[in-house]
Amino acid sequence: MNKVRPKKSLGQHFLHDQQIARRIVDALDVKGPDAAVLEIGPGMGVLTQYLLQRAELDLKVIEIDRDSVAYLHKHYPEVLKGRIIEGDFLEIDIDKLFPGPFAIVGNFPYNISSQIFFRALEQRHRVTQVVCMLQKEVAERIAEPPGSKTYGILSVLLQAYFDIEYLFKVPPGVFTPPPKVMSAVIRLKRNGVERLACNETLFVQVVKQAFNTRRKTLRNALKNLTLAAEISALPIMEKRAEQLSVNDFVELTSLIERSRGGTTTPG
């Protein structure tokens, strides 16, 4: 098998530009105890080859496509021996892959990039960093500050736990087949927030509910949460979701929790 044919069903667009591949790998800023790295969707190994050159990395790769797995076994028989996992990152038991902290790198399929980030959020106490290429619009949304029209659920949830850097744009022509949109590379580094200063489950609920009807004021968008009258009367409830920072959402969640007779114990 000399090459893998890209499968539309898997959202495969294989990067063939070596310079961009090296830039993505160079953006992975891990060393020492943080050197465990999981590459998602290695395909034919365009990133993998440069990751393998970094001796400090404890690298594993996970690939759902059987043809790509066969290609990697054939072309990297020794260096990837015992490092290839055939499976779906969205379903794999991550505890069996790495016992401690790890970083994620990859050229994410456009159709599941958001799901990958939500899985990384589930593992936020172990994921130290994410360096990835994805659709430019999604990359911008994740990195955008409050006030932007593209600032949304994923922006708030990721920015709560990660410092996010928009690194560079990538044109369609460096892929096979070329996608119909621009791509971009971003880097997420875990910040110092172990737990938010509010109930984190309620925080997620508030953020999602607020953005589900983002054109409405928070007073109307959060009606389904059956808010106390004193919460509905607050000036912040005149705002729309996109106007609130992470800290604003944390404070609002704490207020809602207290109004229900709960504590503000994180968790």
Q: What is the pLDDT of residues 6-58, one digit of tens each?
A: 788 888 889 999 999 999 999 999 987 669 999 999 999 999 999 999 989 99
What residues pair up with 107 in beta bridges, in sequence order?
Answer: 133
Length of the chain: 267
> Measured in whole angstroms, how far is the alpha carbon of residue 167 from the centre of its chain?
15
Sequence-ordered list of residues with C-beta below 8 angstroms from that of 219, at least 6 positions apart, any chain: 232, 237, 238
Q: How far is CA 244 from CA 196, 239, 266, 267, in A?
A: 16, 8, 20, 21
Please determine, for residue 265, whether its predicted confidence score (pLDDT) is greater than 60. Answer: no
**Each residue's pLDDT tens digit, 192-218:** 999 999 999 999 999 999 999 888 999
Average pLDDT, the chain: 92
163: CB partners within 8 A, 6+ apart? 188, 189, 190, 191
